[in-house]
Amino acid sequence: AQKVTQAQTEISVVEKEDVTLDCVYETRDTTYYLFWYKQPPSGELVFLIRRNSFDEQNEISGRYSWNFQKSTSSFNFTITASQVVDSAVYFCALSAALNTGFQKLVFGTGTRLLVSP
Amino acid sequence: AAGVIQSPRHLIKEKRETATLKCYPIPRHDTVYWYQQGPGQDPQFLISFYEKMQSDKGSIPDRFSAQQFSDYHSELNMSSLELGDSALYFCASSLRRDEQFFGPGTRLTVL
């Protein structure tokens, strides 16, 4: 069975602070993908990043960076110099990748990030 | 670029009524997924279709049914609506079960 755990329910920071959102996953699949999505108050799911299980290289995109560590089954997300517009719920998700293709997404319970001015 | 279209965007129904949600995938996408997100919860997988055949099923109530049509659009039919069915329903589409692209969601409110 697959499981994604986001232990932080809510994080509050002040603008310009750095913040890290934790994600720990469980899967028996050897090939899988990990995702981060942002859900602003308007409700849509905004895709942020996809990582496959064979690529442990960290990634940086502007103020966003991701740290994937297979040894600890973690895929953490850091926002540098947070801004008020970063306020949203962030979901980490996992999908097995079988020879039939991507499977359903299993989401964590989300972390609500509040960035105050 | 064209995105996934969901209609309606908002829907208000009474208990015991029926509702139909529609999903129009990105052109050429042949796979559709449905997810349900209750208030304050994470999205939960309901059902998926690949080439008009059901490919996977999650915790979808028996009162719900879905299908994918010849033009690849999909409809989620919900009958005997309950208060607990109030949620945001997302549709996602992909090409040959590759990366999923999400629609904006349909917010269903059951009174």
pLDDT score recorded for residue A1: 82
- Give contacts of B34 with chain A, Cβ < 8 Å: none
Q: Do A100 and B97 touch (CB under 8 A)?
A: yes
**Predicted confidence (pLDDT) per residue in B32-66, tens digit:** 999 999 999 999 999 999 999 998 899 899 999 99
User: Is residue A28 within 8 Å of A37, Cβ to Cβ?
Assistant: no
| A83 vs A98, residue with greater confidence | A83
pLDDT for the residue numbered A58: 84
Q: Is the pLDDT of residue B98 over 80?
A: no
Q: Which residue does chain B place closest to A103, by CA atoms?
A: B97
Residue B21, beta-bridge partner list: B76
Amino acid residing at B59: S
Q: Which of B36, B6, B33, B35 is nearest to B21 (CA)?
A: B6
Is A45 touching B (CB cutoff 8 A)? Answer: yes
| pLDDT confidence bin for B28, thresholds 50/70/90 | very high
The fraction of chain A above a pLDDT of 70, given in percent, is 97
d(CA A92, CA A48): 10
Which residues lie below 8 Å from residue B102, measured CB to CB, with a gap of 6+? Answer: A37, A44, A45, A47, B4, B90, B91, B92
Instruction: Give, rounded to a whole angstrom, the gap between the first and last alpha carbons of chain B.
Output: 36
- DSSP-assigned letter for residue B26: P
Q: Which among B110, B39, B55, B42 has a CA at the least distance from the CA of B81?
A: B110
As a whole number of Å, the end-to-end CA separation of chain A is 41
pLDDT reported for residue A97: 76
Structure letter (DSSP) for residue A84: G
Write the residue in B35, B98, B105 that is nearest to A101 by C-beta: B98
Q: What is the pLDDT of residue A105?
A: 93
Residue A99: per-residue pLDDT:
66
Give yes or no for residue B78 having a pLDDT over 90: yes
Q: Which residues of A touch B31 (CB under 8 A)?
A: 101
Average pLDDT over residues B3-15: 97
Residue A80 CA to its chain's centroid (Å): 15
Residue pLDDT, tens place only, A42-77: 999 999 998 989 888 888 889 999 999 999 999 999
Output the pLDDT for position B95. Answer: 87
pLDDT, mean over chain A: 93
Classify A16 in phi/psi space as left (phi over 0), alpha (psi -120 to 50) or beta. Answer: left
